[in-house]
A = this chain, B = another copy of it.
Amino acid sequence: MVKITEGLGENKPFSHNELFESGYIRQYGKDATATAFLLGGIGTGNVSLGSRGEFRDWEIFNHPGKGATLPNTYFSIWAQAEGKEPVARILESKINPPHTHAHGYSPGTAAGLPRLENSKLVGKYPFVRVVFEDNSLPVDVELEAFTPFIPLNPMDSGIPGAYLTYKVKNTSNVPVEVTIAGSIINPIGATFDQKGNLQTQKCSQNWNQFIEEEDFSGLFLRSYKFPEVHREFGNIALTTTNKKTTYKRSWLRGPWFDHLHEFWDDFSKNGLFTDLEYTSPSKDGSTDTGTLGVRESILPGEIKEFSFFLTWYFPNRLNGWSDAFSVKEKGRETVENYYTNHFDSAWSVAEYMVKNRKRLIQQSRTFEDALFSSSLPSYVIDAIASNITVLRSTTCFWLKDGRFLGYEGCHDDWGCCDGNCTHVWNYAQTLAFLFPTLEQNMRETEFLEEVDQDGKMNFRAVQMFDCEWTFGENPAEAAADGQMGAIMRVYREWKLSGDDTFLKKLWPAMKNALKYALLQWDTDEDLVLDGKQHNTYDIEFYGPNPLTGVFFLGALRVAEEVASYFGESDNASMYREVFEKSSKRLDELLWNGEYYIQLLDDVNQHKYQHGTGCLSDQLLGQQLAHLFDLGYLLPEDHVKKAVYSIYKHNFKTDFSNHANPQRTYVLNDEKGLLLCSWPNGGRPTFPFVYSDEVWTGIEYQVATHLIYEGFITEGLSIVKAIRERHDGIRRNPWNEVECGHHYARSMASWGLLIALSGFTFDMTKNELSFKPRINEEDFSTFWSTGKAWGTFQQKKNTDTGEWEVSIDVLYGDATGLTVHACDKNWEVVSAAR
């Protein structure tokens, strides 16, 4: 092992304890207004829970909706201790300032109704809890909410709904009668304005029904206005398995604020609702709000659960990425969501959730426990778990035919940008390790549809929507980093799944795409890319440069391995030879003694280069090679020194004096890793357009790489800095933003788990191995492959010095699996499922 003598030096913002502490979990107070925990499944859209217990950001309508609110939509509680006056409260904690609306808070917010004193939110993906505090109530209340999440089971992780369980404990010494009631406006046909306010002018024929089934009952919110194929068609259900229900299908239809007057007077009197017996749906321009209440008698000290199911069904989405990239053919403007394969209404979703409740909770809980019981530092788990959100956010969608698609991220109200962007998804690991079949689908799109006969891969896939990816009038450039990275990622999918058929299908296009690199970008035929190379910074690099150069090496290694596996030994040798020459040449050209630079005679000849700057992504391809167990692509000592230099030069512990004329993701006293810096001068007049920014996706990949190279403290410091910035007050812990919310690149955080546990995987041989890089004498972690997932523990018996290893298979089929750990092989005997 090559040693780097330089230590952490002055760039040491955290103590050892801060960096290595495990087992705690952050709580978000009611003033943490940026906090929003997303409920909802893969490809279903979301609604978020805020730290006041409020439901916010309604994104169930097949597009993002940050800031989108539904009026009249909240839970409320009524409680009466025997012999006492009843108390009625909105089940949210108090509203935070500023209170600056032009017309005060509208009645739709119910801001004028009494609320609970305080609350805190705790999220352990996929579970979230909001604990309320209030002295006026004779009970303690908390809400636990989640949408089932089971790795390797995308269907059950893709349910359009959420379990909402209010747990109420009688803290008084007399029996207490309690009603918990959920109110929700019927939003079908409505739209949101730019400020997120619901506009109901186009609503019509909305109708809320109360239905009782054997196992459950509740409200079914529909509209008769839209035919089933209409993009706005859909329905919502709010149901319960509790037996004693009380409901109001529609709040009072009247002028002014009569509806809220009547609702609250009715509720606060005795906690039971009078249905207003309307017999016709809503008129043009209006809709109804419905309320479903559950009543329970609770004895002193007793805890009762009020179990609600919020489910939705909005089957039809735009048949495309955006208006620009969508199917224009009449009659084909919409496409159905994957969940329509299993459900035909929000009611049927509720039925499924009721019937499979025990299993779905248990398997989701097993995952949560497996992930959060790990011995990794708490904020590392937090980083890994929280960014799972991306794959269930509106950044991704999942069509009826099984196709899984992802934007880069999201605007407040629409996806941005289109097309499974290869260079952004390069960084993402989470989906591949949790739902490998969905990730394989993305590779299939890339290689089977978007590689042309020359080997050029469109870095935005749009053909599935009958569109072509152009830039102005010309075909768009290929992205060198995205194209090479896609080749590398096929290798990951193959090794995780052991699926030779998948690999065989893609292999010709992979070879073609690799050949394209030499044809297109190696203009001087020295086996180092030097042409006009479009890349993830949305500009073109010119000349030899580490970003694309190292990616090319990674792709060559993959090609060598695959060729060899398929018995194409000539090809394998050829790829090996090119790799070795290219690697040597790249190192000679670009190594400056400290890190790899871009080689340009005049850095200002082309705009937007980095030249002698220290690029944080210079070894991204190497990071992927480590994650996929492909070894070093450049001399190990240079790699180690370079990755350390990235940390040294680009990690800043205070941004107060940083001058960044670009977009701003980190500011003031925050810490973060710059995309680039120029420690030795040579900054171009116009450096590449994001050079002064900070992106969590890049921070995670560098942190992961630092850990691979043995710079544990440095890698962890970056991760801790990121998560400190996402403290619920400054930013949402479940939303790492870059060019959009829930940015795909942030799913690089899963790499930390792989690196810290020293996890390698080869399902073609049914082999795993672990070599923890942290807490190795008492280590535990979650692991996953395309076939199974579970936990791994290794512990050194302090008496005997012997290693104790345990591998729990918690889901899937691990028959015949061999695990290498602590210098031994361990056979897995029992297999889950």
Contact = CB atoms under 8 A, between A and B. Distances in A.
Interface of A: 33-34, 66, 88, 94-95, 97-107, 109-115, 117, 136, 193-195, 256-258, 260-261, 263-265, 268, 409-412, 416, 608, 656-665, 667-668, 685-686, 689, 692-693, 729-732, 735, 737-741
B101 A737 contact: yes
| Contact residues of A: prevailing secondary structure | loop
A107 B662 contact: yes
Contact of A663 (B106, B193, B194, B664): B106
A667 B99 contact: yes
A411 B102 contact: yes
Contacts of A136: 657
B97 A729 contact: yes
15 contacts: A94-B668, A98-B730, A99-B667, A99-B730, A100-B731, A102-B411, A102-B741, A103-B416, A103-B738, A103-B739, A106-B663, A112-B667, A256-B686, A257-B661, A268-B659
A88 B657 CA distance: 9
Contacts of A195: 194-195
Contacts of A667: 94-95, 99, 105, 111-112
Contacts of A665: 99, 104-105
B261 A664 contact: no
Given A98-B34, A99-B730, A194-B195, A112 B658 contact: yes
A730 B113 contact: no
A215 B747 CA distance: 60
A741 B730 CA distance: 28
Nearest to A103: B739
A103 B659 contact: no
A740 B102 contact: yes
A810 B99 CA distance: 39
Given A97-B34, A257-B689, A689-B256, A661 B104 contact: no
A659 B264 contact: yes
B659 A113 contact: yes
Contact of A664 (B112, B256, B668, B686): B112
Contact of A737 (B104, B411, B663): B104
A107 B257 contact: no
A102 B664 contact: no
A114 B738 CA distance: 21
A100 B662 contact: no
Contacts of A260: 661-662
A99 B731 contact: yes
A663 B66 CA distance: 24
A440 to B, nearest CB: 29
A740 B692 contact: no
A38 B739 CA distance: 34
A90 to B, nearest CB: 10
Contacts of A656: 94, 114-115, 117
Contacts of A94: 656, 667-668
Contacts of A117: 656
A416 B102 CA distance: 10
Given A103-B737, A104-B665, A264-B661, 19 more contacts: A95-B667, A99-B665, A100-B732, A102-B410, A102-B411, A102-B412, A103-B416, A103-B738, A103-B740, A104-B663, A105-B663, A107-B662, A112-B661, A113-B661, A114-B659, A136-B657, A194-B194, A257-B661, A268-B659
Contacts of A738: 103-104
Nearest to A195: B194
A410 B102 CA distance: 7
B668 A104 contact: no
A656 B93 CA distance: 11
Q: Which of A88, A114, A195, A660 has the most CB of B within 10 A?
A: A660
